[in-house]
Amino acid sequence: MSLLNRFGRWLSTDRRPGWVFILPSLVLLVLLGLPIFAVFWKSVNAYFFTYALAPTALSALRLSLLTSSLSTLLAVAAGMPLAYILARWKFHGKTVLELLVDLPVVLPPSVAGLALLIAFGRQGVFGRWLVPLGISLPFTTAAVIMAQTFVAAPLFVRSAKIGFVEIDPQLEEAAIVEGASELQLFRSIMLPLAWRSLLTGIVLTWTRALGEFGATILFAGNLEGRTQTMPLAIYLGLEHSLGVALALSVMLVMVSVVLLGVLRKLEKKKYD
């Protein structure tokens, strides 16, 4: 409404400079909006549910939900203590550790996939040690989860760390004076106060894991029901059934929109 009013004001008065802001913005908005619109436009037809309920689509959906949930769980279970350490402890080499955790965020997923393959492949630098134990990671669902955790867990650690850092140090000091142990401090003070950041981290991590493609296809390969997640099914769908690819894309866009909505709510509450 206010945008419309302002738009009207720009038209009625002679405040032309407004277009300096509007026109460049439109370029970007068109670029961002039209492809999403086109995917919906092309896929919303009588066959949508035929494609969305095709066995390939359903098995990809099932696998995606399973793996992204497990990698998010893994990210929380291991990432929360790590975020706590990074937020509260002072030690040598902390900068290096922080760099290591931030690296996957900016790394191309193809590099992540190659690195995982070289490290944990059957002939990999470390993977060869697992062979005598009868463990071979590539081409397994475990490899999908590892790839997703590699690229997505850092998002949780970053978010959780911010949550822990923001807590008033006086609260911690008071708790320690009262004789609280580190674990009690974590459970009774830090967790309840940082929950919003933790939840934000969970949503970000889950969304990223759900969308993981490059690292998965390199490290885990592509087998329906075992390693073919939704993004992989979309990529392969391009070659045989555009319908399935479009239906899966629409599902991913909708899930992402819902999760972004949750994220906005979380952030809004935080700064209100």
Partner 1 sequence: MKRVALAILMVAALLAACGPASPPVPAKSTPQIEPPVPPTATPQPLMITVFAAASLTEAFTEIGKDFEAVHPGVTVTFNFASSGSLRTQLEQGAVADVFASANQTEMDTLITDNLAEANSTQIFLNNSLLVILPASNPANIQTLQDLARPGIKLVLGDTTVPAGKYARQILANLDKDPAFTSDFSTQVLANVVSNETNVKQVVAKTQLGEADAGIVYVSDAVAAPELKAIEFPTIDNVIAKYPISVLKSAPQPDLAADFIAYVLSPDGQAILKKWGFIPVAP
Q: Using CB under 8 A as the criterion, which residues of the chain lie in contact with partner 1 when the complex forms?
A: 114, 117-118, 121-125, 128, 136, 138-139, 217, 220-224, 227, 235-236, 238-240, 242
CB 160 within 8 A of CB 201: yes
Sign of CA dihedral 208, 214, 219, 225: positive
Cβ at position 108, least distance to partner 1 in Å: 11
**Identity of the residue, 137 or 255, whose beta carbon is nearer to partner 1 in the bound complex:** 137
**Identity of the residue, 240 or 264, whose beta carbon is nearer to partner 1 in the bound complex:** 240
- Give the Å distances, CA to CA, from 82 to 78, 104, 145, 157: 7, 16, 19, 7
**Identity of the residue, 143 or 151, whose beta carbon is nearer to partner 1 in the bound complex:** 143
Cβ at position 252, least distance to partner 1 in Å: 19
**Identity of the residue, 202 or 236, whose beta carbon is nearer to partner 1 in the bound complex:** 236
**Identity of the residue, 25 or 123, whose beta carbon is nearer to partner 1 in the bound complex:** 123
DSSP string across 220-251: T---TTTT--HHHHHHHHHHH-HHHHHHHHHH
The span from the CA of 196 to the CA of 267, in Å, is 8
CB 79 within 8 A of CB 160: yes
**Identity of the residue, 117 or 189, whose beta carbon is nearer to partner 1 in the bound complex:** 117
Cβ at position 87, least distance to partner 1 in Å: 37
Cβ at position 213, least distance to partner 1 in Å: 11
Cβ at position 142, least distance to partner 1 in Å: 13
Look up residue 1 and give its two tokens: 């409404």
- Give the Å distances, CA to CA, from 108 to 118, 139, 158: 16, 20, 18
Cβ at position 212, least distance to partner 1 in Å: 16
